[in-house]
Amino acid sequence: MSNLRKKQTCKVHHVASEGDITKLDPENPLLYLSRRQKRPRNETQDKSEEVLGDQCLKEELLDLLTNWKKDQDVALSKLSLDITELKKQKSVIQASNTQLEQSLQFILQQYEDMKDKFLILERDRKEKLNYITTLESKLEEMQKRSRF
């Protein structure tokens, strides 16, 4: 940013006048009127100074805009690189999410299969228990008959 402020090559003109009006004598109003202490005005000199001042201003503005454009280009290129990096990260995350979804789907399918097998085994177990109970009751009944 220090390049933005360039030393101005234009000449600065100073005017000779009293800086503090309160020091002037209020009794004598003629003291307020002063003679012109400058050189008489030369129109060609004023025009050339005006042209030089305009050129100086134009050059300064052009330098400011050029430096600003360079700064903006650098910032834009950094943003572009950041966006490219974010797009790559997004692609990696999407691929990872797809793999996770596939893994979850596989695990869900295995869970459903095991649940079905468990329900079948549970039903078979109950049937076997019922059969055992009926066999035990028959055995008891047969034992009772054999005692008599």
Residue 37 contacts residue 16 (beta carbons within 8 Å): yes
pLDDT value of position 71: 95
Report pTM: 0.44
pLDDT in tens, 82-137: 999 999 999 999 999 999 999 999 999 999 999 999 999 999 999 999 999 999 99
* SS3 letters across 114-131: HHHHHHHHHHHHHHHHHH
Mean per-residue pLDDT of the chain: 81
Q: Is the confidence at residue 2, as pLDDT, over 80?
A: no
The answer to whether 10 and 56 have CB atoms below 8 angstroms apart is: yes
Mean pLDDT comparison of 15-29, 50-64, 94-108, highest-scoring range: 94-108
Task: Sketch the domain layout of the chain as residue ranges.
Answer: 43-147
